Copies of this chain bind each other. A is one copy, B any other.
Amino acid sequence: MKRIYEAELESKETKCYDRPLYRDVRFESASLGPPTRVSYLFTVRPEHCNKNGVLHGGCATTLIDVLTTSILFGIRRPDFWILPGVSRSLNITFLRPVPVGKEARITCELIHAGRRLAMIRAEIQRTDTGEVCVTGEHDKANIDPRL
């Protein structure tokens, strides 16, 4: 599975909105489970922050958006989530700030993958304290035209 996720990180096209983030994301671990989980590490740089010097809510959401999506690459089969789908909703809760310079772990867990909808949960934790700083739920809709 390591190979799948690392290949995914490397394959990102140059002009995408999320492209600049991939330089700072490292694959950490994956498990097909259940539960299906994947984790990444990320170091917060000034360009990921807001005026208060902490991880920007928009950046946290973008990370959660793309990294929760990556979990679907681990479960795809010819007849099941062959494409990673489109976002239906992202619900993000900000519990604590992640200060610039800190390393964070982004853990994604597949809560449910049905034929048409999948829900993946994410948590962003500081690796130095273990504190959960941001949580998110990502609801994805399958767009396989054969459905």
Point out residues on A near B: beta carbons under 8 Å: 13, 15-18, 46-52, 56-59, 61-63, 65-66, 86-97, 111-112, 114, 116-117, 119, 121, 132, 135, 137, 139, 141
The answer on a CB contact under 8 Å between B119 and A141 is: no
Chain B residues with Cβ below 8 Å from A46 are: 15
Chain B residues with Cβ below 8 Å from A141 are: 116-117
The answer on a CB contact under 8 Å between B49 and A57 is: no
The CA of A47 and the CA of B30, in the complex, are separated in Å by: 30
Q: Which residue of B has the minimal Cβ distance to A141?
A: B117
Please tell me which one of the listed residues B16, B87, B89 contacts residue A139 in the complex, with CB atoms under 8 A apart: B89
Chain B residues with Cβ below 8 Å from A62 are: 56-59, 61-62
The answer on a CB contact under 8 Å between A49 and B137 is: no
Chain B residues with Cβ below 8 Å from A111 are: 95, 132, 135
The CA of A52 and the CA of B15, in the complex, are separated in Å by: 12
The CA of A90 and the CA of B93, in the complex, are separated in Å by: 7
**Can you show 12 pairs from A to B with CB atoms below 8 A apart?**
A16-B49, A17-B47, A17-B58, A17-B59, A61-B92, A88-B93, A90-B90, A91-B92, A92-B92, A111-B135, A116-B116, A119-B135
The answer on a CB contact under 8 Å between A18 and B137 is: no
